[in-house]
């Protein structure tokens, strides 16, 4: 059993922390499943759903990172082309002048 009141307090804190995390997860699940505002999913099903959501977010982050890389390369190429165009305009102005 418990050795003293501090053990009980520690267990209460662990329970409260887990309870709050579960409540956040349940609210997320309810928001993603309209019409289930009064439903609490089975804990195992909730964990599977959360892991699936995590996988989706990770995939989106990878896509976002890839798009950011492409955008960065495009911006670099656009800057290079602008410099080249400016040089050609200057050369053209000199040849007319």
Rounded to 5°, the CA angle 29-45-30 comes to 15
Per-residue pLDDT tens digits for 56-91: 999 999 999 999 999 999 999 999 999 999 999 998
Supply the pLDDT for residue 2.
55
Indicate if the pLDDT at residue 18 is higher than 90. Answer: yes
Per-residue pLDDT tens digits for 34-50: 999 999 999 999 999 99
Taking the C-alpha atoms of residue 43 and residue 55, their distance in angstroms, rounded to an integer, is: 18
25 three-state secondary structure:
helix
Supply the pLDDT for residue 73.
92
pTM of the shown model: 0.63
């Amino acid at each position: 059993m418990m050795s003293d009141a501090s053990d009980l307090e520690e267990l209460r804190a662990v329970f409260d922390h887990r309870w709050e995390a579960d409540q956040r997860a349940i609210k997320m699940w309810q928001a993603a499943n309209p019409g289930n505002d009064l439903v609490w999913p089975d804990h195992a099903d909730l964990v599977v759903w959360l892991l699936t959501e995590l996988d989706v977010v990770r995939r989106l982050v990878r896509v976002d990172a890839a798009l950011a890389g492409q955008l960065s390369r495009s911006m670099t190429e656009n800057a290079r082309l602008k410099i080249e165009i400016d040089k050609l305009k200057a050369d053209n102005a000199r040849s007319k002048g």
